[in-house]
């Protein structure tokens, strides 16, 4: 079995993939804050998965972890994972020492791209796919010819930090007008202040009810999402763009709105119309454990060498 663990800012999820490709039941638990707490969260997760498997850690042929931040997949070091309180942690080596088995580490969005590819695309031809993660921030993972694209410096897919409006809002990265300032959970929270626990759903509900300001903010957000889709299509020419992340829970409302913007652009541009962008876009089904599955794949040598 291959074990995959998705360590998020608030919760950690895990799943095992058997030799036959079947998935085990998922395990979820809160994520601790800070280096030692994150390590203990991972160790507890592995312990729980071994209970489910009815065997020791040796039952797992590989362990992979997806985690936010800048990840050196060769050394297993994680940096700049602000939401986890990590400025620098040799997570892979530390866990390998605790567990007695090698642990591979990958950025969570890249891991989720592998998981989405495995669940939705693998076995189809052609297989080029981009995973557009809409969460607190915005980033993408790209799978070409069955291999994860990391780039020369590990930042392939960081399209959220491509400036699209020189006069726009200041981004957390220090630039101004980045795509992330338009199409992300943090962008919605800034543009649509609310006491609701689900700001994006509150925004879409208010827009559906005809509230003018909500319609304006929703369409600004959807324009950013459509711009991200167009950018991925024009730079990578992938066959499929899968929208995931926390905001994917908006489901059909998100997909239909993105299609509406893309169709509007296509009506004004024969070039964009020829790309048929709407046919390439889908929202990942609710509950698909893409990130945990991708983490399990990260642990396998074939992905590490990609």
Task: Write out pLDDT tens, residues 189-238.
Answer: 999 999 999 999 999 999 999 999 999 999 999 999 999 999 999 999 99
* DSSP character string of 200-256: HHHHHHHHHTT-HHHHHHHHHHHHHHHHHHHHHHHHH--SEEEEESGGGGGTHHHHH
How confident is the model over 15-74, as pLDDT tens digits?
Answer: 998 888 788 878 999 999 999 999 999 999 999 999 887 777 888 889 999 998 888 888
Sheet holding 11-17, edge to edge: 27-30, 11-17, 2-7, 62-67, 103-107
- pLDDT band at residue 304 under the 50/70/90 scheme: very low
Beta strand 138-144 with 129-134 is antiparallel
How confident is the model over 141-169, as pLDDT tens digits?
Answer: 999 887 888 888 778 899 999 999 989 99
| pTM metric for this prediction | 0.89
Predicted pLDDT at 207: 98
Identify the residue with better confidence: 170 or 55.
Answer: 170
Predicted pLDDT at 264: 98
Question: Can you name the residues that pair with 163 across neighbouring β-strands?
Answer: 178
């Amino acid at each position: 079995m291959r074990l995959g663990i998705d360590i998020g800012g608030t919760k950690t999820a895990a799943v095992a993939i058997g030799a036959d490709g079947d998935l085990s039941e998922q395990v979820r638990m809160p994520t601790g804050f800070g280096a030692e707490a994150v390590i203990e969260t991972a160790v507890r997760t592995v312990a729980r998965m071994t209970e489910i498997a009815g065997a020791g850690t040796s039952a797992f042929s590989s362990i992979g972890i997806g985690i936010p931040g800048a990840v050196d997949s060769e050394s297993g070091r994680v940096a700049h994972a602000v939401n986890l309180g990590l400025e620098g942690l040799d997570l892979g080596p530390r866990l390998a020492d605790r567990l007695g088995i090698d642990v591979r580490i990958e950025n969570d969005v890249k891991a989720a791209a592998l998981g989405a590819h495995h669940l939705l695309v693998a076995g189809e031809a052609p297989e080029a796919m981009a995973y557009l993660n809409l969460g607190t921030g915005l980033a993408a993972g790209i799978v070409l010819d069955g291999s994860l694209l990391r780039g020369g410096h590990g930042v392939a897919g960081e399209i959220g930090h491509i400036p699209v409006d020189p006069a726009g809002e200041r981004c957390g990265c220090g630039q101004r007008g980045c795509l992330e300032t338009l199409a992300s959970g943090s962008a919605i929270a800034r543009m649509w202040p609310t006491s609701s626990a689900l700001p994006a759903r509150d925004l879409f509900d208010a827009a559906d009810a005809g509230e003018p300001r909500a319609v304006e903010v929703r369409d600004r957000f959807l324009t950013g999402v459509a711009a991200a889709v167009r950018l991925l299509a024009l730079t990578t020419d992938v066959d499929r763009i899968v929208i995931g992340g926390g905001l994917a829970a908006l489901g059909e409302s998100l997909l239909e709105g993105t299609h509406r913007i893309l169709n509007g652009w296509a009506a004004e541009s024969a070039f964009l119309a020829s790309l048929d962008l709407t046919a390439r876009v889908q929202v990942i089904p609710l509950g698909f454990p893409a990130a945990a599955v991708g983490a399990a794949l990260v642990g396998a040598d074939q992905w590490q060498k990609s």
